[in-house]
Structure 1
Amino acid sequence: MNDIAHTLYTVVQYVLGFGPTVLLPLVLFFLALFFKVKPAKALRSSLIVGIGFVGIYAIFDILTSNVGPAAQAMV
């Protein structure tokens, strides 16, 4: 029983290691399929959400790396 729990824990940690950029579109894809959305439309929508997350994280990273030192210099 302990081996099964350890294997399950390892698999869950591996999937969670992908991060929200990959995990949220996957969840949305399967949720859309559950609500009987056509697979092509569900895939397209989930990919758009994933691309949006990549863009948001890129802008956030650029802002924190550039504005952070400027804010430190003001203080």
Structure 2
Amino acid sequence: MAKIKVWIDRDQCIADMVCVSLCGEVFEMSEEDGKSQIVAKYRVDPNNPAEGLVPEELKDCVEAATESCPVSIIHYEVAE
């Protein structure tokens, strides 16, 4: 089964929480800086909250968050 690679340009995040409201299984707000990040269980590197690898069944919510982000900082692609 394919995985979905997701990454966030956290420096440009405006913390409006649209991604969390649409796809809370993948996105959360950081307690440290208040910006969007990938939930810990899907991070590629535990120390990098900006990049994750999620199951294919979450593609629809990742896509919704990507399309709804007002500053277009969420990106994804199907990983082989």
With the shorter chain as reference, the TM-score category is: under 0.3
Please identify the structure whose Cα radius of gyration is greater: 1
Could you say which structure has the greater relative contact order, defined with CA pairs below 8 angstroms and 6 or more residues apart? 2
TM-score by length of structure 2 reads 0.23
- TM-score by structure 1 length? 0.25
